[in-house]
Amino acid sequence: MSAEAIAKIEAEMKANQDDSYIQYIGQFLLQRIETNPDDAAKLASKDKTIAKSLEAMKGEAMKKQKNGMAMLTPDQGFAIVLKYFGITGAAAPVPASVVTAPAADATVAKKPVSDFDVKLDDFL
């Protein structure tokens, strides 16, 4: 069952490569399967998706909003995702490895090099 759940999660992540939220939650769920293989059956459910779990998170955040703004801690967000998938019990703390770094192929904008160099002392 773990292989099915992993394949389902990875397929959704691949189909939504430009959505960093799906990537983030997907990585969390993959790690959840590693640490709690018994949860794989619930995560493999055909009618449950990462995108819909984000909608559940959005709904909960909207209930807490004040002045048009709402925030959830990572632990609260992951607890909502697990509840959406029908996983009960305490959510594990967010592992540091879930936090993703920029893609290796991401280009970093460089400042153009300029020959223009003026100091305040030049004018005094």
pLDDT averaged per 10 residues in sequence order, the chain, 124 residues: 93 96 96 94 94 96 91 93 88 52 51 68 75
Name the residue range of residue 66's domain. 2-123
Which is nearest to 25 in space by CA: 47, 2, 61, 54? 54
- Nearest 5°: CA angle at 65, between 49 and 12? 15
Whether the predicted model's global pTM rises above the 0.75 cut: no
Question: How many domains does the structure of the chain reveal?
Answer: 1
